[in-house]
Chains A and B, each alone.
Chain A
Amino acid sequence: MIDEILVMVGGAMVVVGVACDLIAAIGMLRLPNFFVRLHAATVGTIGGSFLPILGTGIMVLGTDFLAYKWLFFGGLVTTAILVLLVAPAGSHALARAAHRSKAAKVEPKLVDHLEEDGVGR
């Protein structure tokens, strides 16, 4: 009984993650500039990678055909927590560097307070 519930909860998380992944890929292709595409990247990393890995870990706990299922669970949860910590840090560093070095232009823009305040250069 509890095994089926674990598999269903994990499978639901994986399905939600795949939907987030597809939405993020479409957004990455359609959105206008780099700083707007960061939103799509957030959907793709947290919703599309953290959630399916955690869901796979929960799904593994309910299965009966894997030999070392607790080892699977530990490795997958570790990977999920690493992704949760590492993905925002990396994309934030990249966005800060891209704005300060003017590598990516803020092309359709209304206002840019960082540029007006003279932050960076």
Chain B
Amino acid sequence: MVMEEQINTFIMLLLPFYLTSFCLYFVRVLKGPTIPDIVLAIDALSFDIVAFIALLSVFFKSLVLVPVATLFALWVYSLDIFVAKYLEKKEMGD
């Protein structure tokens, strides 16, 4: 029981740092001048959220959150590939 409280306190201490970096990434998402800037910032923000979900799955002791993190990482990869394809060929692929 001591270890549970210690780990929960540890995760709660990390929370403000994560929220600060989310806000900083989100400023770049809002003001990025070109489309690749916005997509790159969404990319970094989403991988950040994946790491945060991994910590939250330990905090809430729920196994369901782990596949959510996996699928979210794959979703961001598909966003990158689609945007790159669109920028290069101006079409999404048949």
Which A residues have a C-beta under 8 Å from some C-beta of B? 3, 7, 11, 14-15, 17-18, 21-22, 24-26, 28-29, 34, 37-38, 40-41, 44-45, 48-49, 52-53, 56-57, 59-60, 63-68, 71-72, 75-76, 78-79, 82-83, 86-87, 89-91, 93-98, 100-101, 103-105
Contact = CB atoms under 8 A, between A and B. Distances in A.
Contacts, number: 170
Given A22-B17, A79-B70, A104-B37, A41 B44 contact: yes
B66 A75 contact: yes
Given A25-B25, A28-B44, A44-B48, A89 B4 contact: no
Interface residues of B, number: 48
Contacts of B70: 75, 78-79, 82
Given A63-B3, A65-B4, A90 B58 contact: no
B40 A71 contact: no
Interface of B: 1, 3-4, 7, 10, 14, 17-18, 20-21, 24-25, 27-28, 34-37, 39-41, 43-44, 47-48, 50-51, 54-55, 57-58, 61, 63, 66-67, 69-70, 73-74, 76-77, 80-81, 83-85, 87-88
Contacts of B36: 34, 94-95, 97-98, 103-104
